[in-house]
A and B are shown apart, each in its own frame.
Chain A
Amino acid sequence: MTADTSPARPVRVVIVDDHKMFRTGVKAELSEVAPGRLEIVGEAPGVDEAIKVVRATHPDVVLLDVHLPGGNGRGGVDVLHGCVAQESLTGQPVRFLALSVSDAADDVIAVIRAGARGYVTKSITGSDLATAIRRVADGDAVFSPRLAGFVLDAFGASAGEIAEIDEELDRLSLREREVMRLIARGYQYKEVAKELFISIKTVETHVSSVLRKLQLSSRHELTTWAMGRKLV
């Protein structure tokens, strides 16, 4: 785990999940692995409650289940749409980390394109989750190995498509592809950094850049997924 340096103030977290047992479990686990560094300020079991809680508590990070009851029936995507322009107590935008048991690419791509800063599976360990929350709170992106695999597929990187210039939205740059491949192989950010002889900060920059492409690209594969969820 990356050491969390000088946590001046605990990260304020809201947990949105329709299973009470899961919320309780995550709460217990987080307070165990990161005592004092994470503060659970609210919980919600559905879309409408989630929007209310976020507006009321102004958290730093929302742990967001992808499938939720209520709203327009689009789960986490509805919450993201309902919380546009919400700010935390420090004036940062409220950031969302998607949490799912779903392996379905369209679910994951949908919440990312709706604005989530990352995606992790529910089988993640407590300490990894704490690190991911911290990272999202700092404005970085969090990719699970599986999301990295999706990204490589969606951008055609596994078929050899590489962007000519880094700014191109529809393809990954060579470096971004390397980073994604290492994450897919199960490497932590610091291991990626070591492997590529770059700093962790640079790894984070690459991942954020991939996230931006994922959100803004009009690549056919992504828009097909997004249109299936009525996002475009």
Chain B
Amino acid sequence: MPVPYAPAPTGVVLEQPRMTRPTDGRWIAGVCAGLAEQVHLPVVWVRVGMALLGLSGPGLVGYVLFWALTPQRERDDVIDPAAPEAPHREKPQRPGGLALGVVIASVGLLFGMSQAIGPRLSLLLPVLAIGAIVVFGLTSADAAQRDRWLGRRSGWPALARLVAGALAVVAGAVVLLSRGQSIGVASDIAVATVIVLLGLLMLIAPLALRLWSDSADARSARARADERADIAAHLHDSVLQTLALIQRQATDPARVATLARVQERELRTYLYGGATDAEASLAAALAVVTDEIEMGHGIPIDVVISGDAQMDDHVHALVRALREALTNAARHGTPPVAVYAAAGPDLIEVFVRDHGPGLDIETIPEDRLGVRESIIGRMTRAGGSATVRRLDPGTEWTLTLPTPTPGSHP
């Protein structure tokens, strides 16, 4: 039976599978391989096309964008369902391939810029350095250190990384500017720097977006994991303990039945909720009393309640009388014991029925204080009444208590 606290997922719409970068069969970062799968073209065509585009600057920028935007494919055989929070689920990217990608991207960027500012090879190395350091710094967080980027464990490494990246950018810019010997050269360099920064921004923005969406995924995964942990903890404390007890007492059928019954009731309350405050309502108080009798005497009690009532002194008396009647049924009667409580607008009735040999009120010895005092006397003092009668088979107690109509009560 499917557990009621986990309703069937509704309305899960499968979208076009998201493009991913495979970890197998990749040359650099798996962009071409992933793209080829996505558009159903041979990977060779894609690679040739990408290489042709890459000879111009924009193609390479595109490659880097794709690489930043698409997640690396999670390998099925790596995923361990028992450890959904395992941080190293994604295969670490090969730094060599990444660095290569970054270098190529920077070169492409420079080629693109060279048309605007003229070929100045002296610019090449510092720009490369800036691009490589910052982009590589960002992307090494892609898989293993994502947790830290998200601030899940500690914010300091992430912050340090950001600061280091920013310092690298500034340092690179300073180096660039200091090389300029004339104002004209300096302005060229300033333009170049702005373009480089814009390029970096383009690289960072998609990554930031991805991190954002990943963090939403991670949040919901964490909520699910928390819920599962809660349920596991509860089942461990209750069901598993009871099962262990049952195994140890397997030779005592009555004891086993009682344990199972008590556990069932407890689990039911946990799963379906239920009134828990015995001081608040008649239904909750009845549940508590019947639970106690069941546990104490090891007999099953079926409880049916229609309507409910507020607790007051008189209802408390009714519940105590019911406990006495149930104790009697448990001691002298035969299961099944049934309780039906009907709480109407002006009358509460409680019926307790067992299937024993029957109890005759006339034959009860005077010293049996339980029945006379605890049930009948108590109900009378509360302004109600208690009657007992024989059935075939069994005994049935009827406890009635008029409830004061609202307003007439002082």
Contact = CB atoms under 8 A, between A and B. Distances in A.
Contacts of B268: 103
Contacts of B4: 67, 102, 104
B2 A69 contact: yes
B1 A145 contact: no
A53 B37 CA distance: 43
Contacts of B340: 145, 149, 181, 184-186
A12 interface: no
Nearest to A19: B1
Most-contacted residue by chain B among A17, A101, A148 (CB, 10 A): A101
Contacts of A123: 300
A152 interface: yes
A35 interface: no
Nearest to A17: B1
Interface residues of A, number: 31
B338 A152 contact: no
Interface stretch (B92-100, B240-248, B304-312): B304-312
A158 B336 contact: no
> What DSSP secondary structure best describes chain A's contact surface?
loop
Contacts of A104: 4, 272
Interface residues of B, number: 25
B10 A160 contact: no
A159 B302 contact: no
Contact of A185 (B2, B307, B346, B351): B351
B14 interface: no
A68 to B, nearest CB: 8
Nearest to A67: B1
B306 A152 contact: yes
A21 B391 CA distance: 37
B1 A18 contact: yes
Contact of B1 (A101, A158, A160, A186): A101
A89 B141 CA distance: 68
A26 B306 CA distance: 30
A149 B345 CA distance: 16
A186 B336 contact: yes
Contacts of B378: none
Given A65-B1, A69-B2, A181-B340, A159 B345 contact: yes
A103 B302 CA distance: 12
5 contacts: A68-B1, A101-B1, A145-B304, A153-B307, A186-B353
Interface of B: 1-2, 4, 8, 10, 268, 272, 300, 302, 304-307, 336, 338, 340, 342-346, 351, 353, 391, 396
Interface of A: 17-19, 65, 67-69, 73, 75, 101-104, 123, 145-146, 148-150, 152-153, 157-160, 181, 184-187, 191
